[in-house]
Amino acid sequence: MKTVFSPLHSRRDVKTELDGGLLIEPHEKPSRAETILARVKEQALGEILEPEEYGLEPVKRVHTADYVAFLKTCWQEWLAAGKPGEAIPAVWAGRGMRHRLPRDIDGRLGYYSFAAETSISDGTWEAARASANVALTAQKLVAKGERAAFGLCRPPGHHAHADVFGGYCFFNNAAIVAQAFRDQGYGKVAVLDVDFHHGNGTQAIFYDRNDVLTISLHGDPDLVFPHFLGFEDETGEGAGEGYNLNMVYPPNTPYSVWSQGLENACERIQTFKPDALVVALGVDTFEEDPISFFKLISSDYLTLGARLARLGLPTVFTMEGGYDVDAIGVNAVNVMQGFDR
């Protein structure tokens, strides 16, 4: 399988993540992508390509123009306001307040975000743009006839809504790929999200549509991030009713249990008969992941990849989460090797 990778990912290198009341070194850090790339090379998975430039048009098919413009200038606005640290949202429109875009940067950060753990600094915009280009280049490879392609995206994307960032995500790479397939004439697309966390952004973007099926297996949002979306009674709305599927699992879930959800997902995908599949691939389901609570082991990722291959669909993988950097390369590449085998 071919891998798409951009060295520009390293332009996102924030120093802070608000966690446990402290500003810690971020879980979502450059070494994640470098470790996966090293494993791709070590295993000779296949050719490694740099992304092509697709501009902002395919990004704006799923994100609003004002949100994209905000991300572009956010860091400069923050600096211009004379703030000493990294840009961190700290105020939101709570219940009873107005969802109105303020002029001040603190207000604007809150308006365009849903969580405070995702700091912004110099280079975040460039890295997020490159990450979307990585995803779109992987999509193009598959549209041109590759059976599958690995978009080694960083930063990740699946938590980003049309106009909201958070969960380390800015542009929803999986959604951008799904929409690109649609815009190129693929009639139906399925997005399967196997990251430990709910793919809230992807769900929200396609919630009222029946041309993109969204499925996510994840830790119970009653217990973990993103807390306010991802429950099993969220099944889609309007034309999209029946085209969103959430499966939630408790702490210590092993592959033997999680994979029953995967089977459900695969059956739903087969009924849907999509023309392409996007896999939002997080490996934070790993037993040693520092912020998650599932118990998948490294060999499970080979089994996962093999199962996805049996769907027999043109498939684009977008890299999402996974924070045990020592194992992230083996686990992510195992999915690809299981798929190719």
Of the residues 9, 63, 159, 218, which is catalytic?
A: 159
Q: Which of 10, 13, 18, 19 binds ligand SP5 (CB under 6 A)?
A: 19
d(CA 141, CA 200): 27
Chain position whose Cβ is nearest to ligand SP5: 321
Concatenate the DSSP letters of all residues of 145-189 into one string: T-SEEEE--SS--TT-BTTBBBTTBSS-HHHHHHHHHHHTT-S-E
Residue 199 binds ligand SP5 (CB under 6 A): no
d(CA 248, CA 232): 7
Assess whether 198 carries a catalytic annotation. no
Which region among 140-148, 167-175, 199-207, 254-262 touches ligand SP5 (by CB under 6 A)?
167-175
291 binds, among ligand SP5, Zn ion, none (CB under 5 to 8 A by kind): ligand SP5
Residue 86 binds ligand SP5 (CB under 6 A): no
Which residues are CB-contacts of 63 (< 8 A; sequence separation ≥ 6)? Answer: 160, 162, 163, 171, 172
Q: Which of 75, 125, 181, 225 binds ligand SP5 (CB under 6 A)?
A: 225
Task: Read off the amino acid at residue 341.
Answer: R
Asked if residue 177 lies in contact with residue 169, where contact means CB atoms within 8 angstroms, the answer is: no
Residue 156 binds ligand SP5 (CB under 6 A): yes
Closer to ligand SP5 by Cβ: residue 156 or 261: 156
Closer to ligand SP5 by Cβ: residue 195 or 324: 195
Q: What is the nearest approach in angstroms of ligand SP5 to the Cβ of residue 115?
A: 6
Asked if residue 235 lies in contact with residue 241, where contact means CB atoms within 8 angstroms, the answer is: yes
Q: Which helix (H) or strand (E) holds 319?
A: strand 315-319
Q: What is the CA radius of gyration of the chain?
A: 18
Q: Is the C-alpha dihedral spanning 204, 210, 211, 213 positive or negative?
A: positive
Which region among 25-33, 68-76, 193-201, 310-318 touches Zn ion (by CB under 5 A)?
193-201
Residue 236 binds Zn ion (CB under 5 A): no
Q: Which residues bind ligand SP5 (CB under 6 A)?
A: 19-20, 117, 156, 159, 167-169, 195, 197, 225, 282, 284, 291, 320-321
Contact residues for Zn ion, defined by CB under 5 A: 195-197, 282, 284, 321
